[in-house]
Amino acid sequence: MGQYPPVPLLPPKERTKIPRHKIPEQDPMVRRTNFKEVNLGYTIEMAQAEAQRCLMCANPPCIGGCPVHIKIPQFIEKIREGDIAEAARILKEDNALPAVCGRVCPQEEQCEIVCVLTKKYQPVAIGNLERFAADWERENIGIQVPKIEKKTGKKVAIIGGGPAGLSAAGDLIRMGHDVTVFEALHEIGGVLVYGIPEFRLPKSIVKAEVDALAAAGVRFEKNFVVGLTATLDELMQEYDAAFLGVGAGLPYFMNIPGEELIGVYSANEYLTRVNLMRAYEFGPNDTPLINIKDKTVAVIGGGNTAMDAVRTSLRLGAKRAMIVYRRSEAEMPARIEEIHHAKEEGVEFMLLASPIEYLGDERGWLRAMKVQHMQLGEPDASGRRKPIPIPDAIEEIPIDVAVVAIGNGSNPIITRATPDLKTNKWGNILVDKTTLKTTKKGVFAGGDIVTGGATVILAMGAGRTAAKYINEYLMNPDFVWEWE
């Protein structure tokens, strides 16, 4: 009962000979001038041909590699059979935001790296297929509301409308609970709307997936800061359980001279102004950004956020946009695809270098940075080779804007207002590793507020785990809260 004719299954030998299908992309020289999506997505023919490559393993390792345990071979088989609606339905049993994850998950280090084909050939393009199925459903039949279990009468508060919270909400609503998401900003999506740029994840897609959750019955309270608008204790009088997915909070700076100069941004601020507040269309939108056109922008850091900021700079018209990273490319935490895309678009990489001072003019505007050149030493605690300053190798580089993308500390608002919520010395909330229960009864936590800065899908995985144990806590009177 598919929407397209099935593609007949070839013998496994022949299937392994099919090369992986590359996803069509906008030309680098064109896309560096616009904010439209870089990846264009598979056609139905490409998707079915790629689906043909899946060997349908009896014990599929890909499912174990996925933080939310999507039934990968099943949904891929449905694509090959031409039943894309069913493929999307299977996806959504495990993933509340498949169109988002198909775009921003690091599949190459999760499901695809463990694909049986990876050793001898190239892995099945699981992420591209996930994206295809989710996009197809949204564009052709509209996002379908999943089956909701009988109402339990239990109320769950989800604090934070980012990936962790949305994924928890998606599961809990299907389990029949009453779910309300509290979001501090004026839009739902957290890092998906303020952090990840339009060219990697269009806001309309996030909105469509959020709307689908609303259609399934999830309630959203925007402009609500738990800890200030109401305390967690007050919410707990009304709700039977809560999940804290408030994300990483305060951006780190390096505490080097000159970081107060105009033109030094945190990546959070730079990206929020451009993405959430749409400063790239200043005029119709009221939020400004320093004029980037024909300027030199240095982005400090080597993660995905740094890549987002530097590629955003090109699109804002920067004359030069560079990554400044203290280790070498091999140690960069960013996805390979993002580094590759950045290079294609003309981003410069200044590796083994770290700013030690920003220099300004008399009006307080940034005009240059001093960088210390580095060499790699022995591996450090993270297992990556540690950068060591090369004596006297200090260079002054004229720049107009610096974007500091070196991670985030934890936001103090909720913990400040909730003394019985225990945190570690960095302010991350302490949780039981299996159940994600906190030290406060009925309250679970997950995502960046627990782990420190990580990825969208890890946060979503935490949201799912929490949802499972919240359900357990609500429905099973024997659930033990006390920590062992």
Partner 1 sequence: MNKILEARFIGPNVKLFKIEAPKIAEKRKAGQFVMLRVHEKGERIPLTIADSDASEGWIEIIAQGVGKTTKLLNMLEAGDYIHDLVGPLGKPSHIEYFGTAVSIGGGVGTAIAYPIAKALKEAGNYVISIIGGRSKEYVILENEISKFSDEVYPTTDDGSYGFHGFVTQKLQELLDNGKKIDFVLAIGPVPMMEAVANITKPYGIKTIVSLNSIMVDGTGMCGGCRAIVNGETVFVCVDGPEFDAHQVNFKVLKDRNNTYLLQEKEALHDFECHLDNAFFTLLKKQKNGEN
Residues that bind partner 1 (CB under 8 A): 184-186, 194, 222-225, 228-230, 249-251, 253, 255, 259-260, 262, 265-266, 268-269, 272-273, 277-278, 282-291, 363-365, 411-413
Give the side-chain half-sphere CA count within 13 A for 77.
9
Could you tell me which residues are beta bridge partners of residue 371? 355, 395
Give CA–CA dist 87/78, Å, rounded: 5
How far out from the chain centre does Cα 50 lie? 25
Nearer to partner 1, 106 or 263 (CB): 263
- Nearest of 164, 183, 231 to residue 448 by alpha carbon: 164
Residue 361 C-beta: closest distance to partner 1, Å = 10
With a CB cutoff of 8 Å and minimum separation 6, the contacts of 351 are 323, 325, 327, 328, 329
Residue 272 C-beta: closest distance to partner 1, Å = 5
Give CA–CA dist 73/400, Å, rounded: 49
8 Å CB contact between 443 and 232: yes
CA distances, 456 to each of 97, 116, 271, 315, 392 (Å): 10, 25, 16, 24, 40
Nearer to partner 1, 274 or 307 (CB): 274
Residue 251 CB coordination number (10 Å): 19
Nearer to partner 1, 48 or 410 (CB): 410
Nearer to partner 1, 34 or 291 (CB): 291
Residue 64 C-beta: closest distance to partner 1, Å = 34
How far out from the chain centre does Cα 446 lie? 14
Identify the H or E element spanning 357: strand 353-360
Residue 177 C-beta: closest distance to partner 1, Å = 23
Nearer to partner 1, 255 or 434 (CB): 255
Evaluated on CA atoms 372, 378, 379, 380, the torsion sign reads negative
Residue 286 C-beta: closest distance to partner 1, Å = 4
Residue 362 C-beta: closest distance to partner 1, Å = 10
Tokens read off for 445: 């936590």
Nearer to partner 1, 258 or 446 (CB): 258
CA distances, 201 to each of 209, 212, 273, 274 (Å): 12, 17, 16, 13
Residue 54 C-beta: closest distance to partner 1, Å = 40
Residue 130 C-beta: closest distance to partner 1, Å = 29
Nearer to partner 1, 173 or 289 (CB): 289
8 Å CB contact between 453 and 411: no
Nearer to partner 1, 369 or 406 (CB): 406
Nearer to partner 1, 304 or 435 (CB): 304
Give CA–CA dist 424/436, Å, rounded: 15
Q: What are the b/e assignments for 344-371, b being 16+ CB within 10 Å?
A: bbebebbbbbbbebbbbeeeeebebbbb
Residue 409 C-beta: closest distance to partner 1, Å = 9
Give CA–CA dist 418/231, Å, rounded: 7
Residue 379 CB coordination number (10 Å): 11
Nearer to partner 1, 289 or 321 (CB): 289
Nearer to partner 1, 102 or 263 (CB): 263
Residue 262 C-beta: closest distance to partner 1, Å = 5
Residue 375 C-beta: closest distance to partner 1, Å = 30
